[in-house]
Structure 1
Amino acid sequence: MENELQKKYGLMTAIAMVIGIVIGSGVFFKAEKVLTATGGNLPQGILAWIIGGIIMIVCAYVFATMATRYEKVNGVVDYAEAALGSTYGYFVGWFMAAIYYPTLTSVLAWVSARYTCVLLGWNIVGGEAMAIAGFFLVGSYALNALSPNLAGKFQVSTTVIKIIPLALMAVVGTIVGLSNGILVSNFTSGVIAEVTSNNPLFTAVVATAFAYEGWIIATSINAELKDAKKNLPLALTFGTLFVALLYILYYTGLAGAVSNSVMMKGGEAGAKLAFSTVFSNLGGTVLFVFVVISCLGTLNGLMMGCTRGFYSLAARDMGPAPKVLKCIDVNTNMPTNSSILGVLLSGVWLLYFFGANLTPVPWFGPFSFDSSELPIVTIYAMYIPIFIMIMAKEKSLHFVKRFIMPFLAICACVFMVIAAIYAHGKAVLFYLIIFCVIMIFGMMVNSKKK
């Protein structure tokens, strides 16, 4: 065993990781929810996608600036440590490793299984879906743990594949919708269903947060990225801009495929219905296979971050058993023990997601929350102190990078927090209780070690 990660990834892998993690299940998984949240109001739904994209781009730009100055083990943890010291760096790192990475990875395993079941005509909440989800979770872990280089190539390949259905629907769906009048009708129909939320726009924006999230995970390969101070900012900037534009065009094309009412009633098969309508049943099925591959590519990217979560703490001699978790396998150059703990927690959170969100009666009562959205909003809240300290400490930056962009990023993060409170209500309080228990345990483990 050795204790240093090698520089093995290039710019294309970094860009593919940003685009590949962000683009995947979310745009298919949440498109229907955005439409439902706004009562079928298409312009308001597009506005939600635009706001979500702006929030992502602004935050990514500020972190891209940080990436040109700091390069250690794990980007976001490095930036938190540089801005507020080692204690806050550990706080962020523990959250990423214990909650953020495994919750999103577990949800992506299920979403990948969900669309596989849709393709095969199986039940998306039954034993079939959960068995496939477990298989995808273990398979993704095995790919990353046994051959990180192959996992990087898989990330690049799936990124190219997943752009195909989105680009085709964006172009062909828009053309078809303009020719048959469906797109104009959807734009002008207004609200066509009852809106249950007090603020439908806030609910829709929080839903887009899941679709847009993942770009920050690209910073987890900071220590393994060649010329990271140059390539990571390029990947963050180009990747997020590309994703935001593609999402908005895809959502517009989707509105040209079927009417809002049909899309809202389509449930989990809504995306497949739209593809089949535009490209025929055979073409729709083929493109939906690409959708499943797209989800698996996103799962792979999340697993790349998940397997390195505890290593980023152990490399600083922090957290539980740092000597064990910072060991690097001499043959694969992977933090094997960190990977095992990461996939174990992903399995725990997959079990929680099933019991809290997929059973007729939630297993955990009031402590059942949506683990696909609230951890994402939490990380936006954690960005705020980092952005404040950038304004206070980074005196060598020019005015725009030091003050304007961090201020806009702070406003974006505050908006996300407020939107989440409106969207999830009391569930936020019970989530925060679980969050505090996990975070206190993490701080106690670190203090006990010291």
Structure 2
Amino acid sequence: MNEGLEKRYGLLTAIAMVVGIVIGSGVFFKAEKVLTATGGDLPTGILAWFLGGLVMVICAYNFAIMATKHEKVSGVVDYAEMLVGPKYGYFFAWFMATIYFPSMTSVVAWVSARYFGVLMGWDIVGPQVMTMAGLFLVGTYVVNALAPKLAGKLQVTTTVAKLIPLFLMAIVGTIYGMKNGVLVQNFTSGAVVEVAGNPLFTAVVGTCFAYEGWICATSINAELKDAKKNLPRALTFGSLFVVLVYMVYYIGLAGAVENEVIMAGGETGAKIAFSTVFTQAGGTLLFVFVVISCLGTLNGLMMACTRGFYAMAARNEGPTPQVFGVVDNVTKMPTNSALIGLMFAMIWLAYFYGANLAPELWFGPFCFDSSELPIVTIYAMYIPIFLMQMKKGTDFGFAQRIIAPIFGIIASGFMVLAAIVSLGKAIIFYLILFAVVMVIGIAMKNYGHNKEF
């Protein structure tokens, strides 16, 4: 194998990955879903955002504890390998490389194109938006594969840019709503439409996409300066900051327009809110920052996606590690790993369209929302790690070894329960697909290995 990855990123980039990946597409994309899931009941929606954020903070804190002791390649895979065992570590790495990273990346590429399409007046399921989604995927791949330092700088820049519309809506929207009475009306009106099932659980599952992505920051731990100190700081500060931003933004949004307007607006709901508060021109300008925000999230996810197969190859596992473990001498990037990461993201983009957007869905009962179920799966996969943290974390104090993992197990279990209650039979067909991919991964564990590698 070529020499390892370069220590090129500092604390600021790590924090920007946590904040920048999490804050972005989801807060705009899922705000309308949370309102719809709760029937427009604002207090229930805020509770859903709080519970989703609490789950993220608890899990991020546990991984921050682990990050103080373990440092190898691809953070979360390190923890799975060190605490549960090499076989589970490989299982986790394969899932991240083939399902989690590319499915999340593909969805965010579409969401970025979706809001760009709103600005341009395009149909969000039309050919223009899908073409832009593909172009966004390729563009972020090129930046990450050929200029990784530039990708890191872009992550910091877009993180700052994306906070502008969120804080402006949080502050101005709240003041605007208090003056005209919209905020009080939205808080006190209760549900404006009846909803089936459990609205709180459905809304919490919706928030899981908006809060997800923080774990991707662990994928650059091998390239992070003083990772054992900087990664825990980034996870802890970043996750707490995200919850604060989401809560105040959601309240500000409720002050802009009535809940039923956001619900009826669909993909244009956020733009209607911004235009109402900041005038048509100001709303359009701020919505440009929304698109930049989504692209920043996409860039951060692509940073993780391009390193998925390298995480296996660095351990001499997975298919042909002598190919995917190659690090380019100039860019210091695992170029082959980056290319197959793009390929998987393209496959998942095609699936997302066929399963969720096509006029006639392509995959029958195997159609599910790839922005949610892979996230619920990863929370289930955290549970064995937290259990072994309790058993093997002898270097930690009682709170870090016992209390924190127990809360991590409860938080992860809550997300799994919420998904089962709200999604029903879709989970069964997703698990079939998941099992097939995992079986292929087991078969490929030693495929094409060179003993001298």
User: Which category describes the TM-score, using the shorter chain as reference length?
Assistant: over 0.9
Corresponding position of 2:280: 281
Corresponding position of 1:298: 297
Describe the superposition over 1:132-166 as per-residue Cα deviations: whole angstroms up to 9, x where unpaired: 00000000000000100000000000000000000
Partner-residue secondary structure (3-state), 1:192: coil
Distance 2:226 2:391 in 1: 27
Corresponding position of 2:176: 176
Partner-residue secondary structure (3-state), 1:446: coil
List aligned pairs for 1:313-352, cutoff 5 A: 313-352=312-351
- Residue ranges of structure 1 left out of the alignment (5+ in a row): none
Distance 1:427 1:185 in 2: 36
8 A Cα contact 2:106 2:349, kept in partner: yes
Instruction: Give the letter for the 2:392 counterpart.
Output: K
Displacement, 1:447? 4.7
Corresponding position of 2:119: 119
1:358 equivalent to 2:354? Answer no
Corresponding position of 1:30: 30
Describe the superposition over 1:103-128 as per-residue Cα deviations: whole angstroms up to 9, x where unpaired: 00000110000000001111100100
Corresponding position of 1:208: 207
Partner-residue secondary structure (3-state), 2:90: helix
Describe the superposition over 1:328-378 as per-residue Cα deviations: whole angstroms up to 9, x where unpaired: 000000000000000000000000000000012210000011000000000
Corresponding position of 2:229: 230
Partner-residue secondary structure (3-state), 2:368: coil
Instruction: Give the letter for the 1:317 counterpart.
Output: N
Describe the superposition over 1:198-230 as per-residue Cα deviations: whole angstroms up to 9, x where unpaired: 111000000000000000000000000000000
8 A Cα contact 2:317 2:446, kept in partner: no
Partner-residue secondary structure (3-state), 1:2: coil
Distance 2:150 2:359 in 1: 40
- Residue ranges of structure 2 left out of the alignment (5+ in a row): none
Describe the superposition over 1:302-324 as per-residue Cα deviations: whole angstroms up to 9, x where unpaired: 00000000000000000001000
> RMSD over aligned Cα, in angstroms?
0.8
Distance 1:421 1:125 in 2: 28
Corresponding position of 1:51: 51
Distance 2:74 2:20 in 1: 19
Corresponding position of 2:148: 148
Describe the superposition over 1:383-440 as per-residue Cα deviations: whole angstroms up to 9, x where unpaired: 0000000001111211110111110010000000011111211110000000000001
Displacement, 1:12? 0.3
Describe the superposition over 1:251-304 as per-residue Cα deviations: whole angstroms up to 9, x where unpaired: 000000000111110110000000000000010000000000000000000000
Distance 2:411 2:312 in 1: 28
Displacement, 1:15? 0.3
Distance 2:273 2:404 in 1: 38
Corresponding position of 1:131: 131
Describe the superposition over 1:49-106 as per-residue Cα deviations: whole angstroms up to 9, x where unpaired: 0000000000000000000000001100000001111000000000000000000000
Aligned length: 449
Corresponding position of 1:98: 98
Corresponding position of 1:390: 389
8 A Cα contact 2:40 2:263, kept in partner: yes
Displacement, 1:448? 5.0
Instruction: Give the letter for the 1:16 counterpart.
Output: A
Deviates more, 1:390-399 or 1:286-295: 390-399
Displacement, 1:2? 2.3
Partner-residue secondary structure (3-state), 1:266: helix
Distance 2:304 2:32 in 1: 28
8 A Cα contact 1:102 1:343, kept in partner: yes
8 A Cα contact 2:319 2:447, kept in partner: no
Distance 1:296 1:447 in 2: 36
8 A Cα contact 2:320 2:447, kept in partner: no
Instruction: Give the letter for the 1:130 counterpart.
Output: M
TM-score (norm 2): 0.98
List aligned pairs for 1:74-85, cutoff 5 A: 74-85=74-85
8 A Cα contact 1:210 1:373, kept in partner: yes
Partner-residue secondary structure (3-state), 2:444: helix
Displacement, 1:3? 3.3
Instruction: Give the letter for the 2:337 counterpart.
Output: S
Distance 1:424 1:269 in 2: 25
Displacement, 1:444? 1.0
Question: Runs of 4+ in structure 1 displaced over 3 angstroms?
Answer: 447-450
Corresponding position of 2:4: 4
Corresponding position of 2:428: 429
Corresponding position of 1:63: 63
Partner-residue secondary structure (3-state), 1:208: helix
8 A Cα contact 1:114 1:129, kept in partner: yes
8 A Cα contact 1:3 1:326, kept in partner: no
Distance 2:410 2:157 in 1: 36
Distance 2:210 2:362 in 1: 26
Instruction: Give the letter for the 1:207 counterpart.
Output: G
Distance 1:326 1:334 in 2: 10
8 A Cα contact 1:74 1:220, kept in partner: yes
Corresponding position of 1:438: 437
Deviates more, 1:1-10 or 1:329-338: 1-10
